[in-house]
A and B are shown apart, each in its own frame.
Chain A
Amino acid sequence: MFNFNAFLNLIRVLFPRWSFFDQVETVVIVEAKPQGGQAWVSLSSESKPAVGALLYNAETNLSHAYENILREFLRDLQPHLTGEASLAQDDLDRMISFRQVTEWTRQRFEAFEVSSGRSGFLFQFRLKSSEGEIFFVSHEIHSQTPRVSDSLGDAR
């Protein structure tokens, strides 16, 4: 069903607001742990600045785009974080940003699985601030499931 507000959001790039620094954004850290695991592993990574980044910086720009998806997910989650609305499976399924964040964490976790020699199991991810405040903890997600519609999560 067509949604006019979603349309305006899609074409927002045509209406510059130059509001980069209206708010000092919280640094969002993504962590994950396998089913039954105790320790949360950070999925965030830092890279070294490349020589010639002024001309070509695809990897870093892509990581900024992923960061924007995380922030969009937190914005979508905001009414649930403030208690204005409850969070059910349907709510999460409707959030495109949640699907994207889940897919991003899944592929990062896949890389972790390869490095630790495991494959094809359940994992959870969570989003927290650099100060330790936890925003969101997902329910268990299969590390190799291509579809995310059966995933669940809780706003904390």
Chain B
Amino acid sequence: MNLNQALLLCGQMVSLGLFLSGVEFLRISSKPEVHRVWSPEILRLEFKRSLPAPDVFKRWLASKGSLRQLALAEMILAVAALISPSAPMYLALFVVHFFICLRFRGTFNGGSDQMFLQVLLSLSIGFGFYKSGLGKWALVYLAVQLLYSYFKAGLSKLKSPSWRSGLAVSSFLKASPYRLELKGRIERNTQLLRLGSWAVIVAEILMPLSAFNLRAAFLFCGAALLFHLVNVGLFGLNRFFWAWLSAWPAVFYITTLL
């Protein structure tokens, strides 16, 4: 995969992911309870102490209408970026998604917001400085962020006795927002918990090997897809799936450099 192909594929995946995110935010912006928990009053208080920006911007961002406007902007820009990928498009998407995060006092879904912004930042630089050689380093940066995210998660799990025994998986299942019969069955099967836990730990720790070999990259990308799909099924983390998937072409690209 060459630089151009990798940039285009990353761009298509992140555009799709952010279009879906925009649709979700549009639905969320229509819920009255959302505007009570993240009310203009609460947000004005937050922005007063933490956002060094003009008052007119802070008033707009704290308003009820801003979330709907930002959701629509994210959807339109995502479609535009899909049709015509370019640095200004991804930069605009970066700004809009960042404003949405500010609207939720920093982040909406944590890690997926962070990864979306990392992908958009890399694409803005990648497309903007394609000819100067900086584009290559933007994708290297993205691949490092992606592989490090798995490695760090794996290392943390390896250090934790509850992850090594599989008990942590049971705790995470209890925190799932879903009512699943499967949950109870998995929780009771200690062997399965330990096996699943170690499979995730080993895969995550070894994930950086993807950078050195195309076959390894395919293998680990497949494992990562499976892992993220299981997370969608058990925890509903669909945003993580799209955010992490959109960064994987950067890994395929760096296998050609090393």
Hey, which bits of chain A sit against chain B, CB under 8 A? 1-3, 6-7, 9-14, 16, 18-22, 24-27, 46-49, 53-58, 60-69, 96, 99-100, 103-104, 106-107, 130, 146-147
Chain B, 122-165, contact with A by CB distance < 8 Å: what is the 0/1 string?
Answer: 00000000000000000000000100110011001100101100
Contact B23 A56 (CB under 8 A): yes
Q: Across the two chains, which residue of chain A brings its CB closest to B152?
A: A18
**Complex Cα spacing A62 to B32, Å:** 13
If over half of B's interface residues share one DSSP class (helix, strand or loop), that class is named, otherwise mixed; here it is helix
List the A residue with the shortest CB-CB distance to B97.
A13
Would B177 and A63 count as touching, CB distance under 8 A?
yes
26 A-B contact pairs sorted by A residue (CB < 8 Å): A2-B49, A2-B50, A3-B49, A10-B105, A13-B98, A13-B106, A18-B149, A19-B156, A25-B175, A27-B171, A46-B177, A49-B233, A54-B238, A57-B24, A60-B177, A60-B178, A61-B28, A61-B109, A63-B177, A68-B107, A68-B109, A69-B37, A103-B39, A107-B36, A107-B37, A147-B41
B175 contacts A27, C-beta separation under 8 Å:
yes
A66–B161 CA distance with the chains assembled, in angstroms: 28
- Contact-residue bracket for chain B: 35 or more
Q: Per-residue 0/1 for B162-178: is the Cβ within 8 Å of any A Cβ (1 yes, 0 no)?
A: 11000010011011111
Q: Which residues on the A side are within 8 Å of B163 (C-beta)?
A: 21, 24
Q: Is A13 touching B114 in the complex (CB atoms < 8 A)?
A: yes
Residues of B within 8 A of A56 (CB): 20, 23-24, 238
Question: Which B residues contact A (CB, under 8 angstroms)?
Answer: 20, 23-25, 27-28, 31, 33-34, 36-39, 41-42, 45-46, 49-52, 98, 101-102, 104-111, 113-115, 117-118, 145, 148-149, 152-153, 156-157, 160, 162-163, 168, 171-172, 174-180, 229, 232-233, 236-239, 241
Asked, given contacts A47-B177, A56-B23, whether A13 binds B107 with beta carbons under 8 Å apart, the answer is: yes
Across the A-B interface, the 10 shortest Cβ-Cβ residue pairs: A60-B236, A6-B50, A46-B179, A58-B24, A18-B149, A16-B114, A58-B27, A10-B50, A21-B156, A24-B168
